[in-house]
């Protein structure tokens, strides 16, 4: 059953057709990666799902309900959560406070402290809990951001380039983290450039090109698809 579905989703920015009639279905329980050359419309699709942009036409369904016009915070409250590409942490607040703000929304006050401690341990940030979030290393910031997204106990987790700027070790650890969450029942949709990471985690891959779905399949099917290789090479020669 699809947890998230878009139907004939279109987005125009002036004369630019950035999302071109996308019919996309994300099955409950899968880890699904969105890839595509720069400008393929991955980020726009993300923003449409999050409600940061409203589509020009089309529909977005989440767990069978129409959320096309819902406000961002309403979508989050329904069980969607996001980790941004640039860590959107609260730099002037401590690591613990960052997590508290993410958790206090749904967590009963009596369980809040214990829940934060558990999450700190999961993120390997227990030692750094009193540090200002702005002083963390880049990888730690990414994890904290993941922790905030996870702290909402989402049923659908959106990850926008979760491993950007990470070392190979950090990338691998992030992959394990994502897989652990998935085992606990979280559906994951990730925009990612790092093909090694995609190979590590993805059950299914969708390739976007010029705002349309270009190809869909397992990572092996996508890698074997010559047309996909061609658009990436085409992109590389233009760059």
Partner 1 sequence: MQGTNSLMKTLGLLQGPQTLGKGKPFWSAFTLVVALACAYPLFADGYDVGNNVYFFNWAFMALGLSLIWGYGGTLSFGQTAFFGVAGYTYGVISINFGDAYGLTIFALVASVAAAALLAAALGYFLFFGRISGVFLGIVTLSVTLVLERFMAQTAGPEWRVGAARLNGYNGMGGMPSLTIPWFGSDIVLFPDVQLYYFTLALLIACYLGLRILVNSRFGNVLVAIRENPQRAEMLGYDIRVYQLVTFIIGSALAGLSGVLYTSWGNYITPASMGMTAAALPIVWVAVGGRSDLTTTLIGAMLVLAGFQALTIHGSQYALVVMGALLVLTVLIAPRGLVFGLGTLVAGLVNRKPKRQGE
Positions in the binding site for partner 1 (CB under 8 A): 50, 52, 71-73, 76-77, 81-82, 84, 88-94, 97, 100-102, 104-106, 148, 152
3-state secondary structure of 88: coil
Question: Contact, 217 vs 33, CB < 8 A?
Answer: no
Q: Which is nearer to partner 1, 28 or 71 (CB)?
A: 71
Q: Which is nearer to partner 1, 43 or 100 (CB)?
A: 100
Min CB(71)–partner 1 separation in Å? 7
Min CB(149)–partner 1 separation in Å? 8
Q: What whole-number distance in Å separates Cα of residue 147 and Cα of residue 150?
A: 5
Q: Which is nearer to partner 1, 23 or 113 (CB)?
A: 113
Edge-to-edge, what's the strand order for the sheet holding 65-66? Answer: 16-27, 2-13, 57-62, 65-66
- Give the list of residues 6+ apart from residue 175 with CB closer than 8 angstroms, or none: 163, 197, 200, 201
Which residues are bridge partners to 127 per DSSP? none
Question: Contact, 55 vs 13, CB < 8 A?
Answer: no
Q: What whole-number distance in Å separates Cα of residue 35 and Cα of residue 62?
A: 22
Q: Which is nearer to partner 1, 28 or 105 (CB)?
A: 105
Min CB(87)–partner 1 separation in Å? 9
Min CB(60)–partner 1 separation in Å? 16
For the chain, report the end-to-end CA distance as a whole number of angstroms: 39
Question: Contact, 83 vs 59, CB < 8 A?
Answer: no
Min CB(76)–partner 1 separation in Å? 4
Min CB(46)–partner 1 separation in Å? 11
Q: Which is nearer to partner 1, 149 or 202 (CB)?
A: 149
- Give the list of residues 6+ apart from residue 231 with CB closer than 8 angstroms, or none: 36, 37, 207, 209, 214
Question: Contact, 160 vs 85, CB < 8 A?
Answer: yes
Q: Which is nearer to partner 1, 42 or 209 (CB)?
A: 42
């Amino acid at each position: 059953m699809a947890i998230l579905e878009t139907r004939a989703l279109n987005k125009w920015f002036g004369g630019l057709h950035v999302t071109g009639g996308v019919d996309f279905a994300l099955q409950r329980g899968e880890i699904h990666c969105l890839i595509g050359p720069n400008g393929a419309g991955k980020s726009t699709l993300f923003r449409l799902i999050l409600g940061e942009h409203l589509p020009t036409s089309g529909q977005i369904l989440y767990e069978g309900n129409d959320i096309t016009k819902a406000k961002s915070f309403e979508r989050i409250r329904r069980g969607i959560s996001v980790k941004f590409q640039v860590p959107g942490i609260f730099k002037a607040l401590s690591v613990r406070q960052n997590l508290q703000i993410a958790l206090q929304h749904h967590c009963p006050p009596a369980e809040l402290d214990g829940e934060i401690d558990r999450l700190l341990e999961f993120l390997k940030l227990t030692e750094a809990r009193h540090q200002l979030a702005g002083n963390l290393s880049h990888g730690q910031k990414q994890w904290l951001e993941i922790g905030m997204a996870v702290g909402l106990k989402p049923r659908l987790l959106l990850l926008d380039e979760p491993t950007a700027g990470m070392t190979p070790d950090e990338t691998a650890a992030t992959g394990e983290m994502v897989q652990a969450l998935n085992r606990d029942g979280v559906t994951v949709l990730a925009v990612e450039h790092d093909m090694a990471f995609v190979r590590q985690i993805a059950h299914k891959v969708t390739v976007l090109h010029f705002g349309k779905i270009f190809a869909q399949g397992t990572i092996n099917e996508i890698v074997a698809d010559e047309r996909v290789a061609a658009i990436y090479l085409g992109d590389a020669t233009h760059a």
